[in-house]
Amino acid sequence: MSKKVFFVMGVSGSGKSTIGKKLANELDFQFFDGDDYHPESNVQKMKSGTPLNDDDRKGWLEKLNQLGLEHQTKGAVIACSALKEKYRAILLSGLKEKGEIIYLKGSFKEIKLRLEERKGHFMPINLLKSQFETLEEPKNVITVSIVNPPEKIISQILEYV
């Protein structure tokens, strides 16, 4: 398989980091968690329960795009919510056929249950509703359901790629 940059997207709690790490391991690519690239102002805003707006996200998305461009010859997996089509366009800018989106799809109820069990993450559960309201479901991407265990999700993704 040729080297690619995979952006693993979905709302908070969909499993982006877990699946991203496992996929990167399977492909022998480097993994990057998009959350690690948020400026402190974004993290504080989310911790306080305030949803990010497009202006908050722009510089962050451009950083993740730059990361993708830097790793397109080596391959990379980058976890990023990428909730809107215009966000995905920024992420994929300049990557052409080297960039691909993987959408981890789950219902509000499934993801809310996961978030209620998760400890130590800066994203409060009350922001989940705003994420679903913001989400523009992607078309023509690799879409996998989050209901299966991670190993099954990885095997489904590998079938696509």
pTM given for the model: 0.91
* Cα distances (angstroms) measured from residue 111 to each of 6, 10, 46, 74: 22, 10, 18, 32
Domain limits for position 59: 5-160
At residue 122, does pLDDT exceed 70?
Answer: no
Domain count of the fold of the chain: 1
Cα distances (Å, whole numbers) of residue 21 to 28, 132, 151: 10, 24, 12
% the chain with pLDDT above 90: 73
Residue 37 belongs to a domain with what CATH number?
3.40.50.300
Give CA–CA dist 76/139, Å, rounded. Answer: 22
The mean per-residue pLDDT over the stretch 79-86 comes to 95
Q: For residues 152 and 85, give the distance between their C-alpha atoms in angstroms, rounded to a whole number.
A: 27
- Specify the DSSP class assigned to residue 97: G
